[in-house]
Amino acid sequence: MSTPYAKLPRWADYGLIPLINLLVAFAVAGLVVLLVGENPFRAAVILVDGAFGSGPGIAYTLFYATSFIFTGLAVAVAFHGGLFNIGGEGQAYFAGLGVALACLPFDGFLPWYLIFLLAILCSAVFGALWALIPAYLQAKRGSHIVITTIMFNFIASSLMVYMLVDVLKPTGSMAPQTRQFLEGAQLPRLGFLFDYIGMKVRPSVPLNISFLLALFMAFLVWVLIWRTKLGYEIRTMGFSPKAARYAGISETRIIIVTMLISGALAGMMAMNPIMGDQHNVPLDFVAGAGFVGIAVALMGRSHPAGIVPAAILFGMLYQGGAELSFEMPSISRDMIVIIQGLVILFAGALEHMFRPAVQAMFASVSPKSVGVVAAKGEGA
Amino acid sequence: MDFLDVVVNVLNSTVRLSVPLLLACLAGLYSERAGIFDIGLEGKMLAGAFAGAAAASVFGSAWIGLLIAILVAVFLALVHGFASITHRGNQIVSGVAINFIAAGSTIILGQAWFNQGGRTPSLPSDARFNAIVLPGADAVRDVPILGEIYSGLLSGHSLLVYLAFLAVPFTWWVLFRTRFGLRLRAVGENPAAVDTAGISVAWLRYRAVICTGILTGMAGSYMALAQNAGFVKDMTAGRGYIALAALIFAKWKPVPAMFACLLFGFLDAMAIRLQGTPLPVIGRVPVQLMQALPYILTVILLAGFIGKAIPPRAGGVPYVKER
């Protein structure tokens, strides 16, 4: 059996091709900017400057990136198991209830680190719960996980509106959100770290300790996927369900466990905006981060070492995009959604588009690097 | 209002609400029967709705709107085809990408071109598809039951509604009574056999996704040019996904697809009708529950009552000739 695509050197496979895909995605995004009637190069300069040009800019970039690391990891874990979890958005939204459960009863008397631990647990459990039903339905009833997780996003959104408007809203308040958290449920901010590198960051910049948690989770996901038996089973399942079944791996168990982990990771995202920034549970706090996770996971090739930079890139787009919409009012934050779609298209669905060209290039420069045999049968 | 009035009323809105689902569902039918999963129905509908409304408001003609909507939706369908047929990409990933691209660009372009917060200008009635009164509908209105059904339920819809329901037998005929349909179904079950017979798998699948594009464009136009008077951001609100669920529910067959879409449309109509009215036994149902109902029922239907839904065998698998 011939593999459809021939081998390339590792650095080209993991570095060059994703980079080309990304550049093309941004080039097409630039075309949209042109259609809107603005200069794409000026837009790019404003964007990068807004994201990395100042201490607060960097801190905001990392704040947004925190959410995307969680959701990116969530999507990536599911990808490894051959599952496509589009429900990160709903899982994170529902996990907001878990965070409220951890914070509201205890924020008056427990110290922040205890509440933080409790919130990690609760948000993970709630996120996992929201992924459990689609996982069970996929494993036992064969209903397609992509459709059920999408439905669960809509259901979560209605449920949270109901909870926030009719249940959690304090009496006498107009805004559909919980009461303001007390000190105990406010996560420490990391702005002070920037003092050491000589940048001033206002204490109001919401970069907080959950950023470190996100990095730690990235490490744990790496351990899980590449260094444990469960991770091996998940990957086997994703690579070839048939082989997994043949090896005696329970499909039901792997589907459910993978989705629980995925949902838990997505759920933890809720802490970042809620406990790190808003200090209450507002409507729609996820704000698309669950969907950004799909692009982040595809761009990072489902590896934590790729997901963290990809998340920071999208953090940059969010932060820089906010600056950009001041300068160019016609380019709102929704531009990110287009870029997200383009990244998913070029880094995901069209990931092999430039392969034959890159390969031909390699073959002509140094035939050895691609392997002469492999270079031949390639015609797509 | 007597009982019959209520029934006719609910059924009437059932028909209206199920039309976009039906068009999208039939759209998905062509593509999935040819072995191309299409989760991007939502995005194509949305882009079609925007393009249709934008063109109709600029040119003042619903027909030009429909044409542009179809062109844009076909373009997106071809992007999906390019990714999943030519480049053997993951079809679900490609569909998701198209949904995002459509969701973002309709808002950005709408804001840039019309400056109304992502809406298109409200369309005058001659730039929309208006209700068609069937012959004699007014005359028989007073005839009990049958007259009421004829004039209240069958008459008074826009052209696209009738087209959508005509598309059901037409699709059945194409799929099960023409050579193209036979090949289309074959390419979704066993592309290697089609290839061996000397027919291009890629070209067949491309034609299938073009059919998908045309129908999603019509679905979008219906929403923007007939149901509403213009485009509102995110106006498809998950209908593309519900259409997909209906397609699975109908086991990829055109006539059951129509009934599945009517069922979802009926649920939607009931949800709207029952909003705020207290029900016997349960009492007042929260609005949010009513809004979530179609999605909850989709999950339940997918989980329980469909028996075993067997998708086209080669669905989602890119065809590699060398194998």
- With an 8 Å Cβ cutoff, is B309 touching chain A? yes
Identify the bridge partners of residue B158 per DSSP, sorted by sequence position.
Answer: B131
Size of interface A-B (CB pairs under 8 A): 153
Give the tokens for residue B300.
């339940």
Least CB–CB distance from B241: residue in A147, A340, A345: A147
> Quick one: tokens of A109?
């008397």
Inter-chain contact B87–A161, Cβ cutoff 8 Å? no
Q: Does A146 touch chain B (CB under 8 A)?
A: yes
B131 bridge partner residues: B158
Please tell me the distance from the alpha carbon of residue A137 to that of residue A233, in angstroms, as a whole number. Answer: 20
Q: Kindly state whether B89 is in contact with chain A, defined as any CB-CB distance less than 8 angstroms.
A: yes
SS3 content of chain B, % helix, strand, coil (to 5): 70, 0, 30
Q: Say if the Cβ atoms of B97 and A335 lie within 8 Å.
A: no
Q: Mean pLDDT in chain A?
A: 87
The CATH number assigned to the domain with range A55-304 reads: 1.10.3470
User: Does residue A227 or residue B321 have the better pLDDT?
Assistant: A227
For chain B, the first-to-last Cα distance in angstroms comes to: 66
B67-115 residue pLDDT tens: 999 999 999 999 999 999 988 888 888 998 999 999 999 988 888 888 8
Q: How many residues does chain B have?
A: 323
Question: Angle between the A40-52 and A304-327 helix axes, to the nearest 10 degrees?
Answer: 110
Q: Chain A residue closest to B90 (CA)?
A: A349
Q: Where does residue B234 fall: left (phi above 0), alpha (psi -120 to 50 degrees), or beta otherwise?
A: left
Residues of B in contact with A377 (CB under 8 A): 322
Does residue A375 register a pLDDT over 60? no
Residue scoring higher pLDDT (A48 or B298)? A48
Domain ranges of chain B: 3-303
Distance from A43 to chain B by nearest Cα, in Å?
15
State ipTM: 0.88
The domain segmentation of chain A, as residue ranges, is: 55-304
pLDDT at residue number B214: 95
Answer whether A199 touches B (CB < 8 Å): no
Give the residue among B165, B127, B164, B145 at the shortest CA–CA distance from B45: B164
Q: Map tokens 């028996």 to a residue.
A: B307
Residue B91 in contact with partner chain A when CB distance is under 8 A: yes
In this prediction, residue A264 has a pLDDT band, given cuts at 50, 70 and 90, of very high
State whether residue A125 is helix, strand or coil.
helix
Chain A residues in contact with B286 by the CB 8 A cut-off are 162, 166
Q: List the single residue in B with minimal CA-CA distance to A139.
A: B303
Query: Is B94 in contact with A348 (Cβ distance < 8 A)?
Result: yes
Q: Do A343 and A299 contact (CB within 8 A), yes or no?
A: yes
Q: How confident is the model at residue A369 (pLDDT cuts 50, 70, 90)?
A: low
pLDDT in tens, B209-259: 999 999 999 999 999 998 888 898 888 888 898 898 888 888 899 999 999
Q: Which residue of B has its CA nearest to A377?
A: B322
Residue pLDDT, tens place only, A47-70: 889 888 888 889 999 999 999 999
For residue B106, the tally of other CB atoms under 10 A from its CB is 32
Q: How much is the pLDDT for B116?
A: 80
Q: Tell which CATH classification among 3.40.50, 1.10.3470, 1.10.8, 2.40.128 matches the domain B3-303.
A: 1.10.3470
Does residue A144 sit at the B interface (CB-CB below 8 Å)?
Answer: yes
